[in-house]
Structure 1
Amino acid sequence: MNPHHLQTLLAILDEGSFEGAAGALGISPSAVSQRVKAMEKEAGRVLVRRTTPVGVTEAGEILVQSARRMSLLQAETDAQLRGRLGRVPLAVAVNADSLATWFRPVLAAAAHWGEAALRLRLEDEAHTQILLRRGDVLGAVTRDATPVSGCEVIELGRMRYLAVATAELRSRYSTVEGVDWARLPALRFGPNDVLQDADLDGRLAPEVRRRRRVSHVPSSEAFVEAARVGLGWALLPEAQASPLLETGELVRLDDRVLEVPLHWQRWRLESVLLDQLTDAVVTASAVLDRPR
């Protein structure tokens, strides 16, 4: 497969459109289209889904994985020849809670890797494996300990989540039996928020009708703020909840602690930069609860 064609395929996927890819590559949209047609003719099947944003087919995913590997290895080879790192793209999938808490030192570490570029993809930790499997990212923070084909797994630790709300909200939605979970307003990060979707498991019988309002707040910092001002109750990472619990701005709704296991999955690829990234992730994860 023509290396320029593979580079074009990555650009289309990263930029989300033929026009965006053309701008990133410094060629015309028609040239991008011609390269895609040439790739599809050579492969004998459709590789790119003409959607918004642009996606790839299963056959396209195979080429994307190969293209990512080639891109990283080429960048590192150029770095060795020139004595410096070029614009090495490190695509990583991470969930919002991790990025807002323990993952941040990884950003500081990456700042010292020459001109290496981090391309972070925000996704729920239950869905990051999809990005790995498609070849969209080189590494991912995920709940799943089962490695994606071609990847290796490192256990990181557990994130602890607490059920919290304002004291006023808890008081308003409580009965003599305790918290009225069926009516207590709740928060969601987004449509793929598996963690919050399971917030009532063990707290409310399945047959009880839920009559609560649910607000969606797709930002980790704004999500915490929404809980702080009483828009709804939420499962917050202990690291984010603790300061607000100490000041009394939030209170715990029960004594349960939800522990979410996290793993680092990365491509099984000989790469100095990918090794550095892995070391940084593992080091940063030291603040998580370790398996007992």
Structure 2
Amino acid sequence: MFDYKLLESLERVAALKSFEAAAQELNITQSAVSQRISNLEQRVGAILIQRGKNLTLTPMGQELANHAIKVKQLELELHHVLGENGVSHPLKIVINADSLATWWFKATESFHQQHNVMFDILVEDQSEGLKHLEQGLAMGCLCSSNKPLAGIRCEYLGSMEYRFYCSPQFKQRYFPKKQTQSELEATLTTAPAVIFGADDKLQKQQFQLWGLPTQFPYHICPSSEGLADMILNGQGYGILPVIQAEPFTDRLVDIFPEREGINVPLYWHYWHQSGSVLNKLSQVLVGEKTKGLIR
């Protein structure tokens, strides 16, 4: 049998990327955390953490950390079944940044009020989030993939519409008039775009579909709100959800009003257990209120 205090220490070091931060969260000394990890490594006969400038788990360490996360989730479900609502545990889920910035908290407000759940949210691009569920690092995942996973239930929530926006000043500088295809192609090789991160392929995919250049200068801003602010401030153009852009109709211009918007589907993947807290959260997410918020 494993000592779950040791597993918990390993999981926290992995999540926080720091022995010191893990010690503070667990309310023990840093040396105690190090001793726990050493004891666990002796127990399994393998190195679990690659120590260096950046702490990373070995494959064996990752398996044990994943097991610790699953045990935490099972404890949460057990407390829920027993009606011990005074006990709270984090619910580790993956959400794409745009949903988090627009509709997620409005949709889950009543759920949070009814259940003693602490969300432990990992933000990931909508095309990449499912990998965390596959690796056992999360209990639920909101993403654009409908890829089936063994033991995982998948629910379609709706689609978010995206469009290309910029500030009026930016449009005047780079898109002052209706352009021919060749003129537009030339403009897009110089006009700075704003993208969420290296995994954000939405703009390239859409440009490829439209026959436009897929190589263009861009800022990287790994924040949905920050990305919108950069576009509002005229630092670049980019793709925003229509529901995020609507409050700023006087400060944003649709660059391609004659073209169709980009519809990105959203799927909720989760561990399915009858009567579980995750099931109750899933019922909220597939409800009519959520569909109205996503639009």
Q: TM-score, normalization: structure 2?
A: 0.84
1:33 deviates by 2.0
Instruction: Give the letter for the 1:144 counterpart.
Output: S
1:52 deviates by 5.4
Q: Which one of the candidate residues 278, 283, 291 is aligned to 1:286? A: 291
What's the CA shift string for 1:220-243, capped at 9, x where partnerless? Answer: 222222212321111111112233
Gaps of 5+ in 1: none
Matching residue of 1:102: 103
Is residue 2:196 matched to residue 1:195? no
Verify the 8 A CA contact 2:73 2:139 in the aligned structure 1.
Answer: no
Verify the 8 A CA contact 2:70 2:136 in the aligned structure 1.
Answer: no
Q: Alpha carbons of 1:66 and 1:204: their partners in 2 closer, same or farther (altered >3 Å)?
A: same
Instruction: Give the letter for the 2:73 counterpart.
Output: L
Verify the 8 A CA contact 2:171 2:253 in the aligned structure 1.
Answer: no
1:273 deviates by 1.6
Q: What's the % identity of the aligned pairs?
A: 27
What's the CA shift string for 1:76-119, capped at 9, x where partnerless? Answer: 43455573231211011111111111212244134314432111
Q: TM-score, normalization: structure 1?
A: 0.84
Matching residue of 1:128: 129
Is residue 2:223 matched to residue 1:219? yes
1:251 deviates by 2.8
Verify the 8 A CA contact 1:132 1:140 in the aligned structure 2.
Answer: yes
Q: Counterparts of 1:82 and 1:266 in 2: how far apart (Å)?
A: 22
Is residue 2:79 matched to residue 1:75? no
Q: Alpha carbons of 1:82 and 1:248: their partners in 2 closer, same or farther (altered >3 Å)?
A: closer
Instruction: Give the letter for the 1:112 counterpart.
Output: Q
Verify the 8 A CA contact 1:75 1:88 in the aligned structure 2.
Answer: yes
Instruction: Give the letter for the 1:34 counterpart.
Output: Q
Instruction: Give the letter for the 2:38 counterpart.
Output: K
Q: Counterparts of 2:74 and 2:189 in 1: how far apart (Å)?
A: 53
Matching residue of 2:190: 183
Verify the 8 A CA contact 1:79 1:85 in the aligned structure 2.
Answer: no
1:141 deviates by 0.8
Matching residue of 1:62: 63
1:51 deviates by 5.0
Q: Partner of 1:84: helix, strand, or coil?
A: coil
Q: Alpha carbons of 1:92 and 1:130: their partners in 2 closer, same or farther (altered >3 Å)?
A: same
Structure 1 ranges of 4+ moved more than 6 A: none
Matching residue of 1:242: 246
- Count of aligned residue pairs for this structure pair: 285
Q: Counterparts of 1:79 and 1:248 in 2: how far apart (Å)?
A: 47
Instruction: Give the letter for the 2:248 counterpart.
Output: L
Q: Alpha carbons of 1:82 and 1:156: their partners in 2 closer, same or farther (altered >3 Å)?
A: closer
1:286 deviates by 1.0
Matching residue of 2:29: 28
Q: Alpha carbons of 1:158 and 1:39: their partners in 2 closer, same or farther (altered >3 Å)?
A: same
1:219 deviates by 2.3
Root-mean-square deviation (Å): 2.7
Q: Alpha carbons of 1:42 and 1:222: their partners in 2 closer, same or farther (altered >3 Å)?
A: same
Q: Counterparts of 1:205 and 1:82 in 2: how far apart (Å)?
A: 57
Instruction: Give the letter for the 1:214 counterpart.
Output: Y
What's the CA shift string for 1:167-216, capped at 9, x where partnerless? Answer: 3323332464163222222111233322244453234545x9x5x54222
Matching residue of 2:44: 43
